[in-house]
Structure 1
Amino acid sequence: MEKQKKTRFKFDAEYQGIARICVVGIGGGGGNAVNSMIEHGLESVEFMVINTDAQDLKKSLAKHKIQAGRELTKGLGAGARPDVGVQAMMECIDEIETALHGFDMVFVTAGMGGGTGTGGVSIVSDIARRLGILVVAIVTKPFEFENKQRMQYALAGIDRLRNNIDTLIIIPNERLLDIADETTNLAEAFQRADNVLSDATRGISDLITKTGLINLDFADVRTTIKDSGTAIMGVETGDIKTGAATITLDAISSPLMDGVSIAGARNVLVNLTAGSIPIKEVNAAMAVIKDEAGTDAEIITGVVVDPEMEGKMRITVIATGFDRVKTPKGREGKKLRLEDDDFGYKGEDNLKVLDKPAWERRGLAEPKKNVTLGEQKIRYLSEDDAPSKKKEPSPSDKVPAFLRKMMD
């Protein structure tokens, strides 16, 4: 019989019997996001932070903390070097594995471009996946005013991360400026980024952990998220008097969607939260989602009643399972209206243009031919997928696959 893993972390017993969810903030940006979630009252999840900066770690509001790279960095941080972040995580890989043991779902969050978060988020995600945990990564890309090297580090880190998660949500910080005004200062801009990470996590976790008018269980969410790759997310809060349809339109045309439509998504997760929700408003919101996503999308909806949201409605939309295709230039930066038709008939002189396929007129990439849903993502089995045998693992078994390939 396999030995029960021991952990120095004591998690709340009240969560036994339901899906156990943990939010792991990695590095300074991830730690700030966790603090924002705690301050905003995100409930029914556990919080953990991992950092190489001992001073920053002390400021965390999370109950569970791991200092990575004690010997390597001496508690002074990774110096904005992702390779140091990787080495620091490898130093405490056993401690991270023990801390994650027993969870059903893990959110890993980090600000990409620095050292600890960029280097460490792939390590933590890989450990969680090896434990059979559903992994959602929610990360930010740097603002354009940050140095070029930081953006290069961020993009490289995101590429590594893609292979170690079930779902990846990327928040481009630059897009936050589109919803800021001229008086927004630097500190407020970074706070907005933290708030978006919090909203994204809440939008998924509330569907599982909160009692609602329309409840979803963990299996519903797992179906949508598992092995779905890159996802896009939109979230909007508004006065319920403006109407759920308008709030939903704002959510799916949010700058955070980075100009990408939910059209073509195989799975769409929708969370409606309000103090009280008239059934006609739920119907209006879902009509907008169905019209935009298309008839082939599987839409999973949760409706949560939150007394603190009286008079307001928050709609979170997460779309997964499709190739990222940029919307036409005419759409970018504008509010989406479902009746818009930028490509319709424009007179007899336009007939020759209309002879071209729609995808060519719209400036999109040529669609793949004869591709079925089952062929959209092929994952080849490797040694890592083989059933584990009851034997003592060798030291190399704990090294993430992408690092072993680099060493070969």
Structure 2
Amino acid sequence: MGTERLDKARIKVIGVGGAGCNAVDRMIQIGIPGVSFIAANTDAQALLQSEAPCKIRLGPGLTHGLGAGGDPEIGRRAAQESQRLLSEVVQDAEMIFITGGMGGGTGTGAAPVIAHLAREAHALVIGIVTKPFLFEGPRRLAAAQEGIAQLQEEVDALIVVSNERLLEVVNHRLPLGIAFRVADEVLRQGVQGVTELITHPGLINLDFADVKSVISNAGRTLMSIGHAEGKDKALEAARVALENPLMDIETVQEAEGLLVNFSGGEDLTLAEVSEAMDTLAQTAKPDAPIFFGVTIDPELRGRVQITLIATGLKEQSASPTARHAAVTSARRHTLAELLGDFHFAEPVAAPASLRPEAVRVG
């Protein structure tokens, strides 16, 4: 593997719309080294509250800072109005993440426009977005599906997280705000999971060239993290990562590329890594490129975390049988296994689409 480190590259994360800006705030609070953060929104009030050092008010002449009214076409036109500013922001970046919630106005409409500009600037572009809950209605879900299809055409890799599956994992008595914070956390881990594959020096390193070779023009992608401890911890972490019920992928099969990173204590053995990699490799095509890295952290003694990125996955329509299997898998794994050390007691804001002021402006 090469010596080019991603921390020498320029990485930017652009949060688009209410959900995207919430996710960016979460990333800033947790801290992701070596990453620049940008918040882009049509809602001026929400944008003012963002912690991002760079804020872009989309379409001020079109929306007057009052949001997109839940209309993706307004979101698209707003981004086009602000194209000059957006083009400046995406310059000189080697990797750009675009994160947001699909189904509303700004995220759905503006994200594909921003992704197109980022690709024109020759960046490696990764979309990480959420699909809405079913209770948000068929209209919003249909808008999300169309937005995902449009975004898919403009990014190198697209990771889709299902909010609906969040209901199958979290305790039903978990407060609404904290449940939405879990959704923000999944988006945050999507970005951090990719960048930390190569920003963290390890026993075996991945580099930017490895990531680019697998992710360029990768299409639908799964990014998943599995945590486990005790006997067979690496193998179990691999299984958790493959069965992650929060991802909008029923099964991982015939992947065109794999990126895998192991983080474990000094007790992590070569045999454990080999066994886990054998399991993960079975999900890829025979000639698929597979890269892996290993990071040793003494504080993880007895535990292991696996970050898995599987690319080039085919679109899958869930049959009732597959759907039942996904639900069963979701209930078998705990949030601790899927998200690691997640702090549920933190103050939480509901997504922009469900806030009273968001309803007022649309």
Range into which the TM-score falls when normalised by the shorter chain: 0.7 to 0.9
SS at match of 1:192: helix
Aligned match of 2:271: 280
1:235 aligns with 2:225: yes
CA distance in 2, matches of 1:308, 1:69: 47
Aligned counterpart for 2:136 among listed residues 141, 146, 149:
146
Aligned match of 1:333: 327
Letter in 1 for 2:139: Q
Aligned counterpart for 2:43 among listed residues 50, 53, 62:
53
Aligned match of 2:173: 183
Q: How many residues are aligned here?
A: 322
SS at match of 2:227: strand
Superposed CA offset, 1:349-396 (max 9, x none): xxxxxxxxxxxxxxxxxxxxxxxxxxxxxxxxxxxxxxxxxxxxxxxx
1:198 and 1:308, CA in 2 relative to 1: closer, same or farther beyond 3 A?
farther
Gaps of 5+ in 2: 331-362
Aligned match of 1:221: 211
SS at match of 2:173: coil
Aligned counterpart for 2:15 among listed residues 7, 13, 25:
25
1:275 and 1:65, CA in 2 relative to 1: closer, same or farther beyond 3 A?
farther
Aligned counterpart for 2:78 among listed residues 72, 82, 88:
88
Higher Cα radius of gyration: 1
For the 8 Å contact 1:261–1:326, the answer to whether it is kept is: no
Superposed CA offset, 1:31-73 (max 9, x none): 0111111222222111111111112112212111111112222
For the 8 Å contact 1:233–1:256, the answer to whether it is kept is: no
1:244 aligns with 2:214: no
The percentage of aligned residue pairs carrying the same residue is: 41
For the 8 Å contact 1:200–1:316, the answer to whether it is kept is: no
1:323 aligns with 2:314: yes
Displacement after TM superposition at 1:309 (Å) = 4.7
Letter in 1 for 2:282: D
Aligned match of 1:195: 185
CA distance in 2, matches of 1:253, 1:16: 28
Superposed CA offset, 1:246-278 (max 9, x none): 111111011124453222112011122234433
Aligned match of 2:104: 114
1:313 aligns with 2:304: yes
CA distance in 2, matches of 1:245, 1:231: 22
Displacement after TM superposition at 1:327 (Å) = 7.5
Gaps of 5+ in 1: 1-14, 337-408
Moved >4 Å (runs of 4+): 306-311, 325-328
Deviates more, 1:276-285 or 1:101-110: 276-285
Q: Which one scores higher on RCO, CA 8 angstroms, separation ≥ 6?
A: 2
Letter in 2 for 1:282: V
Superposed CA offset, 1:258-299 (max 9, x none): 453222112011122234433333223212212343543322
CA distance in 2, matches of 1:176, 1:77: 27
Displacement after TM superposition at 1:305 (Å) = 3.6
CA distance in 1, matches of 2:106, 2:283: 39
Superposition pairs for residues 145-184 of structure 1, below 5 Å?
145-184=135-174
For the 8 Å contact 1:19–1:208, the answer to whether it is kept is: no
